[in-house]
Amino acid sequence: MTLRIFNTLTREVEPFVSLEPGHVRMYVCGMTIYDLCHVGHARFLLAFDVVYRWLRASGWRVTYVRNITDIDDKIIRRALERGIPIRQLTDEMTAAMHEDIGRLGIAAPTHEPRATAYVPQMLTMIGTLERKGLAYRAAGGDVNYAVRKFPGYGRLSGKSIDQLRAGERVAVADGKDDPLDFVLWKAAKPDEPPDAQWDGPYGPGRPGWHIECSAMGCALLGETFDVHGGGMDLQFPHHENEIAQSEGANGVPFVRYWMHNGFLNVDDTKMSKSLGNFFTIRDVLQRYDGETLRFFMLRTHYRSPLNFSDANLDDARSGLRRLYTALASVDVDADAAAAAAADADDAASAPAVAFRAAMDEDFNTPAAIAVLFELAAELNRSGDAQAARLLRRLGEPLGLLQQPARAFLQGGAAAGDDGRIEARIAERAAAKAARDFARADAIRRELLADGIVLQDGPDGTRWVKA
**228 appears as a binding residue in the annotation:** no
Give the Cα separation of 27 and 255 in Å (integer): 9
Q: What is the DSSP letter of 84?
A: S
The full DSSP string for 241-272 is: HHHHHHHHHHSS--EEEEEEEPPEEETTEE--
The full DSSP string for 203-243 is: -SEEE-HHHHHHHHHHHHH-SSEEEEEEEGGGIIIIIHHHH
**273 appears as a binding residue in the annotation:** yes
Asked whether 25 and 221 are in contact (CB, 8 A), the reply is yes
Which residue type sits at 110?
Answer: T
Give CA torsion, residues 394, 358, 263, 268, to 10 deg.
-90
What CA–CA distances, in Å, run from 385 to 328, 377, 379, 400? 11, 13, 8, 18
3-class SS at 121?
A: helix
Based on C-alpha coordinates, what's the Rg of the chain? Answer: 27
Give the Cα separation of 37 and 44 in Å (integer): 11
User: Going by DSSP bridges, is the β-strand pair 225-231/255-261 parallel, antiparallel, or unpaired?
Assistant: parallel
Give the Cα separation of 141 and 23 in Å (integer): 42
**218 appears as a binding residue in the annotation:** no
3-class SS at 341?
A: helix
Give the dihedral sign, CA 168/174/176/181: negative
**242 appears as a binding residue in the annotation:** yes
Give the Cα separation of 385 and 344 in Å (integer): 15
Segment holding 376, helix H or strand E = helix 365-382
Sequence-distant (6+) residues with CB within 8 A of 49 are 105, 106, 107, 399
Give the Cα separation of 195 and 374 in Å (integer): 56
Give the Cα separation of 420 and 149 in Å (integer): 73
Which residue type sits at 68?
Answer: I
Give the Cα separation of 68 and 113 in Å (integer): 6
**238 appears as a binding residue in the annotation:** yes
Strand order in the sheet with 306-308: 269-270, 264-266, 306-308
Annotated binding site for ATP: 273
Q: Which residues are annotated as a binding site for Zn(2+)?
A: 29, 213, 238, 242
Annotated binding site: 29, 213, 238, 242, 273
